[in-house]
Structure 1
Amino acid sequence: MSYRKKRPSKKKKKVKRDFCGDPFRMTSSSASYRAIFFDAGGTLLKPQPSVGEVYARVAEKYDMSVDHQEVERVFRQKFTQRDHAAASLSHTTPKEEKAWWHSLVLEVFQTVTMVKNFEPFFEELYDLFARGEVWTVYPEVFAMLASLKEKKMILGVVSNWDTRLPQICDQLKLASFFDFIIASVAVGVAKPEAGIFKLALERAGVRKHEALHVGDSIENDYLGAKRAGLDAVLIHREAGEPPQVPFIRSLSELLTWSKRTPAD
């Protein structure tokens, strides 16, 4: 009788997985991609002055005196609740998009003050946010985009926004950096639905594994892109506890980005 030595069993390496159950692809840098897609609000640009300050300034004209810090606090709370819960259909037609904002702003002001003259107030506010004068670009954005264009990267904007987004990007001197700008209302599909990411891939002329999507919403940007088969990273500028997904603190990190997890 012969005895065979037992071969030691190989231990399987544990692979950290994201929320979608797919292992993180270990990407060395942005050079591994041919295209990068960006969310707009909270990623490339933000209101300036703050939402609360703009709302309070316009409200004063319509006999509503409010504290801009309280408006800002309530706005962020209500926006987050609605953005997480809203069906993507809320951002797919001009009528639905405007109705979504009308309902949000009304709820904010019903929370902080006695509402007066709301309809003309909202119309002025809605028109105001179509202009570049109340938006500003994050400090690192222009240098980052210029560097990516030098690397011959295909760049696109993929945002839950109305048809005014290209106009705003143009006024802020952003539009020239991008090969295309996709606003959900203009194309009839919104994040986190896979269709808007597939459209971006078609516009860029690249395959799923060749594209990275960057945004500030875990649900709409990170998970939406991952479910559509793209790679994704969250832009998380706030201090405090980091998110449980790969993230960056500044868009300039994209130039030499390797996946960053909460343990790093």
Structure 2
Amino acid sequence: MNIGATSCSVARNLARFKLITFDVTDTLLKFSRPPEVQYALAARQHGCTEINEQALARSFRSHFKRMARSYPNFGKRSKDWVWWWRTLVINIFRDSHDHIDEIMIHEVAEQLIENYKTRDCWTEVHLASEVMKIARIHCKQIGIISNFDPRLNTILEVMSLPKVDFVLTSYDADSQKPDRKIFDIALKQCTTQVYPHEALHIGNSPKQDYIGAKHAGWSSVLVNVTKETEREFSFNPEINPKHIFKTFDDFTQALKSEQIIWE
């Protein structure tokens, strides 16, 4: 493929945008190990040898949903994010392993809160950095919009992702995707005027990322699509199938070789 023509194609596809933002979890970064494996590893490091990872997984799913419902946005308006994660971990272990010493559970919780700031718990999604660099070359501003707690800046730094102009977490914004408010706040982070139709959001969640951005007047694409994600958008008329890409490689190829219609 002609490199000059490729560059022109990308420029045309991104010409309308002054801002491109990215989701983080399962978009730019993913867990290096499933949570139940990470939790079990931390527990074993504290001397807990009889750990059932399947029980941890079941407990994680139920308690995470319960905490998110009872204390939205990592406890932003009721407690704080450290309390939220500590309580979640403690409840998971109490529910799944009642033989573990209470003091030890608290120690494991504190360790996990710190561990998830490090490279040990994260890995970069294939081609994530390349797509961010493409966005930087062809657009004026790049940002992060993520339903996350304040550890995100530290995580992005230790993972050595390309620099962005701003990082907006749901905790700091006091608003979670798909709420329009967080997308409106993102526009205010820009150093020059950016209107909603001049912004593109890239993420992996049909509801939080794609539909959230579209309802805010933005353009959006879905990347790194899983079978579970496919079930979410398969019957949703709000999602344009031409804006869905299974991998970043598929997305970059489309940018370089196709005309993407954003409406």
SS in 1 for 2:86: helix
Task: Report how far residue 56 of structure 1 moved.
Answer: 0.6
Work out whether 1:198 is the aligned partner of 2:187: no
1:243 maps to what in 2?
Answer: 232
Give me the whole-angstrom Cα distance separating, in 2, the residues matched to 1:66 and 1:191. 35
Contact 1:45–1:137 (8 Å) recurs in 2: yes
Higher deviation after alignment, 41-50 or 239-248: 239-248
Unaligned runs of 5+ in 1: 1-27
Contact 2:20–2:139 (8 Å) recurs in 1: no
2:31 maps to what in 1?
Answer: 47
- Letter of the 1:68 partner, please give it: E
- Letter of the 1:34 partner, please give it: K
SS in 1 for 2:189: helix
2:8 maps to what in 1?
Answer: none
- Letter of the 1:131 partner, please give it: T
CA 1:41–1:93 in 2, change beyond 3 Å: closer, same or farther?
farther
Across the aligned residues of Structure 1 and Structure 2, the Cα RMSD in angstroms comes to 3.0
Q: Deviations over 1:170-201 (max 9, x none)?
A: 1111152x111112223433323222211111
Give me the whole-angstrom Cα distance separating, in 1, the residues matched to 2:73 and 2:117. 21
1:218 maps to what in 2?
Answer: 206
Alignment map for 1:141-152 (pairs within 5 Å): 141-152=128-139
Task: Report how far residue 98 of structure 1 moved.
Answer: 2.5
CA 1:126–1:149 in 2, change beyond 3 Å: closer, same or farther?
same
SS in 2 for 1:243: helix
Unaligned runs of 5+ in 2: 1-11, 234-238
1:105 maps to what in 2?
Answer: 89
2:6 maps to what in 1?
Answer: none
Contact 1:53–1:69 (8 Å) recurs in 2: no
Contact 2:23–2:145 (8 Å) recurs in 1: yes
SS in 1 for 2:157: helix
2:159 maps to what in 1?
Answer: 172
SS in 2 for 1:156: strand
Task: Report how far residue 154 of structure 1 moved.
Answer: 2.1
Task: Report how far residue 80 of structure 1 moved.
Answer: 5.6
SS in 2 for 1:162: coil
Give me the whole-angstrom Cα distance separating, in 2, the residues matched to 1:252 and 1:138. 11
Give me the whole-angstrom Cα distance separating, in 2, the residues matched to 1:216 and 1:78. 23
Q: Deviations over 1:87-122 (max 9, x none)?
A: 654464694323332343234324432243221210
- Letter of the 1:218 partner, please give it: P
Task: Report how far residue 72 of structure 1 moved.
Answer: 3.9
Give me the whole-angstrom Cα distance separating, in 2, the residues matched to 1:196 and 1:34. 18
1:137 maps to what in 2?
Answer: 124
Higher deviation after alignment, 72-81 or 52-61: 72-81
Task: Report how far residue 153 of structure 1 moved.
Answer: 4.7
Q: Which structure has more helix as a fraction of its residues? A: 2
Give me the whole-angstrom Cα distance separating, in 2, the residues matched to 1:233 and 1:82. 29
1:24 maps to what in 2?
Answer: none
2:5 maps to what in 1?
Answer: none
